[in-house]
Structure 1
């Protein structure tokens, strides 16, 4: 039980960083946090679901696996910015380029293949 709470707390803090740094993702970390809190402390998961902006999106994704169009676009824009930064700062390191861009490509395929959110 404590491990889920620790994972949720770490993911929550990492997601909170994204509230201040635009290219740092919030939603994916808070999805992990909500899933972990659902196993350790459902009250904390419910608190995440009530947060304006990201809460309803996170809850819908966890319950249905669906993503809204705006969320997909925002995620892909964020991934594009991250890919650009990897190219700019890692162009001399083929391992960094391959690993970083590979992870982003996997994430992009995941986002693109999510079913659309229905109202």
Structure 2
């Protein structure tokens, strides 16, 4: 398992970076959380790409701010919480079983409360 850890984290870092970049463009998809997770994956697998992500002019500032002070911009909080709310509203319009609705709802609520409770810079 250990020999696969680094390549898997490296691949996950790139997938999460791509999702984060997409989230920076699409208004209803949060990007910051994916970039924070990508930064962690790269910190465990590739210091070179961790440095690249942290130094990137568009992607790096939120990740650096999170690492340095644990803060999240108000705009990012609003987009993240709003995206979670819209996602849950869409899920309720599907034929998802009740257990899926409850599970998703509780997870999104916990994530939203965590994001909202983080200090702002």
Please give the TM-score of this superposition, normalised by the length of structure 2.
Answer: 0.79
2-structure distance, mates of 1:48, 1:104: 27
Which structure: greater helix fraction?
2
Query: What are structure 1's unaligned runs of at least 5 residues?
Result: none
Residues 36-55 of structure 1 correspond to what in structure 2 (within 5 A)?
A: 36-55=41-60
Equivalent position of 1:23 in the other structure: 28
Aligned counterpart in structure 2 of residue 5 of structure 1, from 1, 4, 10: 10
Pairing 1:97–2:83 present? no
Distance in 1 between residues matched to 2:68 and 2:40, nearest whole Å: 11
Provide the C-alpha distance between the structure 1 equivalents of 2:92 and 2:57, rounded to a whole number of angstroms. 34
Partners of 2:56 and 2:119 in 1: CA distance: 23
Tell me how far 1:9 sits from its aligned partner. 2.5
Let me know the Cα RMSD of the aligned residues: 2.1
With over 3 angstroms needed to count, the CA separation of the structure-2 counterparts of 1:77 and 1:54, relative to structure 1, is: farther
Match of 2:69 among 57, 60, 64: 64
Q: TM-score, normalised by structure 1?
A: 0.80
